[in-house]
Amino acid sequence: MRITIFGATGGTGKHLVEQACAAGHQVTAVVRDPAKVAFEHPELAVVRADVMDPADIRPHIAGRDAVISAIGSPNAKSPTTVQTDSTASILEAMGETEVRRFLVVSNSGMITDGDGALTKHLVKPILWRFLKHPWTDMGHMEEVVRASSADWTIIRPPMLTEGPRTGRYRTAVDRTVRGGNKISRADLADCILRNLSEKTAIHTAIALAN
């Protein structure tokens, strides 16, 4: 497949780029600073563009089979709209180029459907106090995605680690993975790529965890 990846220099994005190339996909990594991409591969093109400008990213989306966003909020201490605004820009450019498949990383922390009583009523309310800014941004981002005409899939990981890619993890559709509180970035990338061409994943939110 021909894939455009946003957030390619982030922790998850790096794994996405490397795994996608290893799987034989033609990858375009859209970044602010190409110098931050150390990985090289014959199937990888690294381009500079402003994700917040639909006109700037449009040429790098046109003709692709799928678009992936692994853009994250810069910090948890201040209000942010980074994920909401970048996703809206990407979806606008996709609509203009008639590219439909879109996968985006969110989080499972703000979701309680499927959680046990302790997690739902104690753990997550505490986490909300510390992560309310990025989680609020992600919640608004999901609203933008759901309102779009794209063939979207929202991927919701819990706490991310630097562990290895195992390919062994649990998933749940439109709810959390009960008792699942972590996943490696490498396995998150694996899950995203597994769902690229999965038709049953369209218009669903998929949570994953070990």
List per-residue pLDDT tens for the chain, 210 residues long.
999 999 999 999 999 999 999 999 999 999 999 999 999 999 999 999 999 999 999 999 999 999 999 999 877 788 999 999 999 999 999 999 999 999 999 999 888 888 888 787 788 888 878 888 999 999 999 999 999 999 999 999 999 999 999 999 999 999 999 989 999 999 999 999 999 999 999 999 999 999
Q: Which residue has the tokens 């853009």?
A: 71
Structure tokens at 99: 């590219």
Integer Cα distance of 97 and 83 in angstroms? 21
Helix ranges (H only) for the chain are 11-22, 54-57, 82-97, 117-118, 124-146, 185-194
Helix 124-146 / helix 82-97 crossing angle, nearest 10 deg: 20
Structure tokens at 78: 């201040």
Pick 2-209's CATH classification: 3.90.1200.10, 2.170.270.10, 3.40.50.720, 1.10.3720.10: 3.40.50.720
Domain ranges of the chain: 2-209
